[in-house]
Amino acid sequence: MSEVSCRKRDDYLEWPEYFMAVAFLSAQRSKDPNSQVGACIVNAENKIVGIGYNGMPNGCSDDLLPWRRTAENKLDTKYPYGKACFYSILKCKLSFQPQLYN
């Protein structure tokens, strides 16, 4: 019977590679037919504090809002309705607000 190695792996992902992979995976949630963008926000302790992708905001139906890139009226394009980085940052900011108790 051969002896099993008891050393740690050398081929694990470094932190930047790991976080980029999380952002890439998040981007796969996007229903945008033209671009898929993911975001991963990390704190100083290498903890993920937010992720997001370019999709419609919670509560907005992605079946009712437009996916066009250009139109005569900007409201008929996808741009006013969702951005991956913006929503990730907003979610993080809201989750770190101090709780007020009466």
* Residue 98: pLDDT band with limits 50, 70, 90: very low
Domain that holds residue 66: 15-95
The candidate with the shortest Cα–Cα distance to 84, out of 34, 43, 27, is 27
Residue 101 lies in a domain: no
Q: Is 4 within the bounds of a domain?
A: no
Q: What mean pLDDT comes out for the span 42-67?
A: 84
pLDDT for the residue numbered 86 = 63
Question: Any idea what the CATH number is for the domain that residue 33 is in?
Answer: 3.40.140.10
The number of distinct structural domains making up the chain is 1
- Amino acid type, 22: V
Question: Going by C-beta distance under 8 Å and a sequence separation of 6 or more, which residues neighbour residue 24?
Answer: 38
Q: Tell me the backbone φ, ψ of residue 96, rounded to 5 degrees.
A: -100, 5
Please indicate, yes or no, if residue 2 is contained in any of the structural domains.
Answer: no
Q: Looking at the domain assignment, is residue 100 inside a domain?
A: no
Over residues 13-40, the mean pLDDT reads: 92
Specify if 40 maps to a domain: yes
Per-residue model confidence as pLDDT tens digits over 50-60: 888 887 777 77
Model-level pTM? Answer: 0.71
Predicted confidence at residue 88, as pLDDT, reads: 60
What is the average pLDDT across 62-72? 89
Q: Which tens digits make up the pLDDT trace of 27-42?
A: 999 898 998 988 888 8
